[in-house]
Each structure stands twice: as structure tokens, then as C-alpha cells.
Amino acid sequence: MTVRHTHRLLVAAAGLGSVLVAAAPAAAGAPAADPAAVQRAVTSADGSALIREFFASAPDAPPGAARAAAPRIVGDPVPVLQLNPDFVRRADAPVTQQLYLASTARSADGRLASVWLTPAAGGGWSIANIASGDVERTFARAAGDAPAFREPQINAWYALRGGRVLPLNDDARRSVGAAGLPVAAYQRLVNERYGDKLPGSAYDRNGTAGGYDAAGTRPAGSDRFAGPGLIGGGLAAAALVGFGLLRRRRTAAA
């Protein structure tokens, strides 16, 4: 297992840490990304300062990291998708929902970080979170021209191609087999896994194991970084909550 370092900055100070997890998940249909607007969010003075602070405060930061050259953005942002809870309920729903966009930042000493962006209340995009590594871009590349998405409860990453759900990492292969599953069979699988544990279910209302989110979406890792996009508690928070992404997270390399 590879622990992704994240760094808490603003949420605790605003007293919103426990409030944000009550927000609703993002809708399956996400707003189209304007590449120029996304680029402005990560290269603005404020955005650059947040990314620089993240790298400087990381446990693996070398001496003098705070004084190093500014990080740079590598490649284009990728949409980050996850299993849609509506698809768990019913087969005619979209398989995935978009949580955020991820841009990859590279520090002066070569370390990578994933910069999460969500729509800003006044238009454009804002930085909502930063996590070490570039897991999102790695799996987007592995999926090629197909959408990549995550089943967060078991940390399985898949590609959605030709009516099939195809595995991209070991957790996914254990879930659907090396050859993957037809979408209809995958829907039956996730319905069996989570259909009685969704928000609003008796399982959730009774607080059994914390409800749907508890099935692996909030594993222990390290403190998060939360940018201004989360402070408002609106769309940005809703997009990141999804199945519990505001809590600590751990990812496994395939």
C-alpha cells in the first residue's frame, strides 16, 4: 500500500471538518472544463502558493524545499470519476459520476502531486485539495481513450470500454477478474455489495459500520490539504464528499 500525503490547511481553522462530510455527492453530469480556466486556477499566485506550501510541508520534503523554484504543472487535467451510487441502485443510471479534475504538479526536486479542482461558486475552477503522487493521471493513462473510474470502497480502478468494466489494478482484478465484466453484470455485483448500505438505507440510518462510506472509502492515511474551494461548503465540498473522499485516504499501486 502506498500512503498519499495530504496537508490540512484551512478546513480545521474554519471549523468545517465535520460539517463538510454531510454534503451530497456530485451529480453524474459534471460541468465541462474550460482548459484555460483550469490552468488559471493552478498557475495563479494563490494557486502556486498553495502548491508550493504543500510540497514544502510534505514529510519527504528535502531541506530548503520552501525556497526551491516554483512547482510546475505537467500535462492536462484529467476528470476523476467514481462509481455512481445511482448506478448501484438501478441499472439505467450512468455508471460513473465525476468528482473533480486533477492536475499534476511537479516540484523542483521532481516530486509529484495531484491538484484537485472543483467548480468555483462564482464561475471558473478552484483548488479543493492536493495529494501526493499522480494516481489519477496514472490510471487515466492506463485506460487510454476509455474513461477510468474508481470503486472507492475497495480501491479498485477500472476502464469503461465497449460495454465492459475492465480492471486497471490488482484490487480491480480481484473484484471483476482479469477479463472484467459486462456493465450489466457489474451493476448486479455492486448492487449486491452496497445496495442495502446506501445513504438513507436502514443500514445507514442505524449507523452500522458508519453506513455506505465505511466500506473502504475513508481508510487511514495522512492529513489532507484543503484549499479555499472546500471552505464554502457548497459544490466543491459536495463533489469531493461523494463516497467519503474528504476523509483520509490510502491508495495501492497496481
List pLDDT tens digits, range 147-184.
999 999 999 999 999 999 999 999 999 999 999 999 99
Read off the pLDDT of residues 16-64 as tens digits, 9 standing for 90 and up: 222 222 222 333 555 667 778 888 888 888 899 999 889 988 777 777 7
- The pLDDT tens digits for 106-141 are 998 899 999 999 998 888 899 999 999 999 999 999
95: cell is 455508471
AA identity, residue 125: W
Q: Is the separation of the CB atoms in 190 and 90 below 8 Å?
A: no
Full domain range(s) for residue 108: 2-251
Q: How far is CA 140 from the centre of its chain?
A: 13
The number of folded domains in the chain is 1
* Spatial separation of the C-alpha atoms in residues 190 and 172, rounded to whole Å: 12
Whole-structure pTM over 0.85, yes or no? no
Q: What's the CA gap between 24 and 199, in Å, rounded?
A: 10
